[in-house]
């Protein structure tokens, strides 16, 4: 199976064991000991599934997943946690979990649960595509289709649209876009973002009938 799994587990031995058994099943993995760089990884890589511990340094795993959901990141999540009380498991689901495994657990059970979740979510994660309305943005091939028609974008335009779709329902300010799309917030000016947004609008909505991107005056941009 060709899927990318992101694992957040603060015990290095358990993390390495999980990575080993999942790689034996043909999965690719990215491992983290805390949540510090997880959002960056989710924005840069076509992650199909997250395995999330709850007792983490600097963050509680289910609260972090809840924050991902509020950012519009809906990658499936399996909690793998020593928190095993009924109310704790229920809390995990309420905060955005798709499945829950309590520690200690067998690696065989982990692999079976992973395969089951991926089967259920295959339609949205098969090609690493982000879907928004009639837009399909394929992260693996860096291609854009609108109503199944290919649209040519520059690297900058692709990355800009990616940032907007990955953060649906959130207004992204110009400083955020300069940092995450251009990689700097010093060299460029606000007008740089305005011009790029207008060029992107022209390409994805030349007839100005779909209004994909909304300008929030004085703040930034979001998808409608």
Query: What domain range includes position 37?
Result: 4-125
Closest CA to 3 of 115, 131, 79: 115
117 plus 136 within the same structural domain: no
Tokens of 140: 């693996």
What is the structure's pLDDT at 33? 96
118 plus 209 within the same structural domain: no
Q: Which among 87, 105, 125 is the end of a domain?
A: 125
Q: Is the dihedral of CA 74, 78, 84, 90 positive or negative?
A: positive
111 plus 136 within the same structural domain: no
First vs last C-alpha separation in the chain: 35
75 plus 172 within the same structural domain: no
CATH number for the domain including 182? 1.10.10.10
Alpha helices in 49-169 (DSSP H): 61-70, 86-94, 107-125, 155-166
Q: How high does pLDDT run on average in the chain?
A: 88
Longest dimension (CA), the chain: 57
- Please give the helix or strand (H or E) that residue 17 lies within, else none: helix 12-24
- Read off the pLDDT of residues 42-100 as tens digits, 9 standing for 90 and up: 988 888 999 999 999 989 999 999 999 888 788 899 999 999 999 999 999 999 998 99
Q: Which among 98, 125, 152 is the end of a domain?
A: 125
CATH number for the domain including 83? 3.40.50.2300
Tokens of 159: 């990355």
Tokens of 192: 């740089």
What is the structure's pLDDT at 179? 82
61 plus 95 within the same structural domain: yes
- Read off the pLDDT of residues 92-142 as tens digits, 9 standing for 90 and up: 999 999 899 999 999 999 999 999 888 776 544 444 578 888 898 888 788
pLDDT band at 221 (very low <50, low <70, confident <90, very high): very high
| pLDDT score of 185 more than 70 | no
Report yes or no: 75 and 50 within 8 Å, Cβ to Cβ.
yes
What is the structure's pLDDT at 189? 62
118 plus 45 within the same structural domain: yes
Report yes or no: 178 and 184 within 8 Å, Cβ to Cβ.
yes
111 plus 154 within the same structural domain: no
SS3 content of the chain, % helix, strand, coil (to 5): 40, 25, 35
pTM of full prediction above 0.75: no
Report yes or no: 54 and 83 within 8 Å, Cβ to Cβ.
yes
d(CA 31, CA 38): 9
Question: Which DSSP state fits 177?
Answer: H
Q: Domain count of the chain?
A: 2
Q: Which among 70, 95, 125 is the end of a domain?
A: 125
Question: Which DSSP state fits 163?
Answer: H
- Please give the helix or strand (H or E) that residue 204 lies within, else none: helix 190-204
pLDDT band at 1 (very low <50, low <70, confident <90, very high): very low
Q: Report CA dihedral (110, 113, 115, 116) to the nearest 10 degrees.
A: 180
What is the structure's pLDDT at 188? 57
144 plus 215 within the same structural domain: yes
Share of the chain above pLDDT 70, in %: 92
How long, in residues, is the chain?
224
115 plus 214 within the same structural domain: no
């Amino acid at each position: 199976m060709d899927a990318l799994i992101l694992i957040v587990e603060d015990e290095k031995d358990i993390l390495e064991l999980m990575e080993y058994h999942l790689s034996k099943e043909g999965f690719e993995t990215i491992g983290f000991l805390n949540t510090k760089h997880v959002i960056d990884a989710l924005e840069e890589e076509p992650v199909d599934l997250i395995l999330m511990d709850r007792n983490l340094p600097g963050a509680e795993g289910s609260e972090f997943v809840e924050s991902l959901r509020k950012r519009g990141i809906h990658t499936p999540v399996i909690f793998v946690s020593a928190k095993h009380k009924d109310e704790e498991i229920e809390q995990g689901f309420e905060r955005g979990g798709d499945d829950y495994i309590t520690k200690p657990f067998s690696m065989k059970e982990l692999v079976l649960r992973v395969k089951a979740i991926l089967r259920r979510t295959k339609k949205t994660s098969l090609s690493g595509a982000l879907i928004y309305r009639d837009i399909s943005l394929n992260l693996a091939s860096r291609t854009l289709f609108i109503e199944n028609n290919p649209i040519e974008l520059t690297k900058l335009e692709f990355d800009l649209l990616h940032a907007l779709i990955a953060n649906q329902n959130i207004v992204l300010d110009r400083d955020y876009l300069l940092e995450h799309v251009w990689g700097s917030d010093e060299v460029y000016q606000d007008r740089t973002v305005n011009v790029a947004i207008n060029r992107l609008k022209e390409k994805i909505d030349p007839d100005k009938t779909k209004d994909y991107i909304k300008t929030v005056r004085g703040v930034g941009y979001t998808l409608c």
